[in-house]
Amino acid sequence: MERSSDDMKEKFLLVEENYKAIEESISKAALESGRGREDITFLAATKTVEPAVINHAISLGLRFIGENRVQELLSKYESYDLDRADLQFIGHLQTNKVKQIIDKVSLIQSVDSERLALEVARQAKLRGKTMDILVEVNIGREENKSGVMPEGLDELLGRIGEIDGIFVRGLMAIPPICEKKSEIFKYFENMHKLFIDISGKKSDNVSMDILSMGMSDDYCEAILCGANMVRIGSGLFGKRSYT
Ligand SMILES: *Cc1c(COP(=O)(O)O)cnc(C)c1O
């Protein structure tokens, strides 16, 4: 669907306002958690957002974008301004689609099984590279949700930490939707505890650099609990329309 240029101007203005406000909130939360703005990575979740709008955010200073569907990533790939921004994969990934994105993204945030890790490693090695990944944790232990259960994390890391072709950079989580802020703090704190516990254990292909958690409604809480990467979609681009 073609947008009128007035529509586009309005959209750009909204993104500008949101971008500024988010930057301020991130800085404030970083400071409150004893860190600085430079310690937090702001990744924009760009699903359903048209490349012109994404690129406008990049022109404002955004440096990290993440897609969560392979098909959508491929259809937008040629349009992203990737000279200035880094593209990551943040959604559920099917094993048979790894080969379609392996040479297009810098980080796959959503590895949650040995089978997927092995395929990522295999495809990376075919191209002579090592792929950075995060392990997704189902911190709310929700049925029908991606991510390894918290109690299975150690074992999974033990098995995939030895695989050539991947490097585990940290953890990612999408906690359950919570009515109360106190509930969301509990999930974020549990994630941070896992992150710290694993950091204490030495492993060849594992280093806990990135703790990716917090979305539009709760990224400040996540930062206060130790997140160093937040993934923000609707808070930057406005409400998603799936038409
Ligand atoms: C869509 C999405 C986000 C951002 O969600 P918002 O609530 O729009 O900020 C973050 N992480 C993942 C994996 C997503 O798919």
Nearest-atom index, ligand 1, CA of 217: 7
Q: Is 214 in the pocket of ligand 1 (CB under 6 A)?
A: no
Q: Is 90 in the pocket of ligand 1 (CB under 6 A)?
A: yes
Domain boundaries, the chain: 5-237
Among 136, 150, 160, 16, residue whose Cα is nearest residue 66: 136
Lookup result for tokens 């593209």: 87
- Reported in sequence order, the residue ranges of 70-214 that DSSP labels E, i.e. its strands, are 86-89, 107-111, 131-137, 166-173, 206-212
Q: What are the Cα distances from residue 194, in Å, to 139, 157, 173, 176, 189?
A: 10, 12, 11, 17, 9
Q: What is the pLDDT of residue 243?
A: 57
The CATH label, of 3.40.50.1100, 1.10.1330.10, 3.20.20.10, 2.40.33.10, for the domain at 5-237 is 3.20.20.10
Q: How many angstroms separate the alpha carbon of residue 66 from the centre of ligand 1?
A: 9
Q: How many angstroms separate the alpha carbon of residue 241 from the centre of ligand 1?
A: 14
Q: What is the pLDDT of residue 2?
A: 61
Q: Is the pTM of this model over 0.85?
A: yes
Q: What is the pLDDT of residue 127?
A: 97
Question: What does the pLDDT profile of the chain (243 residues) look like in tens digits?
Answer: 566 788 899 999 999 999 999 999 999 999 999 999 999 999 999 999 999 999 999 999 999 999 999 999 999 999 999 999 999 999 999 999 999 999 999 999 999 999 999 999 999 999 999 999 999 999 999 998 999 999 999 999 999 998 999 999 999 999 999 888 889 999 999 999 999 999 988 788 899 999 999 999 999 999 999 999 999 999 999 998 765
Residue 66's contacts (CB-CB under 8 Å, 6 or more residues apart) are: 43, 44, 45, 46, 87, 88, 89, 90, 109, 231
In whole angstroms, give the CA distance from residue 31 to residue 75.
38
| Rounded (10°) CA dihedral 236, 179, 92, 203 | 100
Q: How many angstroms separate the alpha carbon of residue 8 from the centre of ligand 1?
A: 22
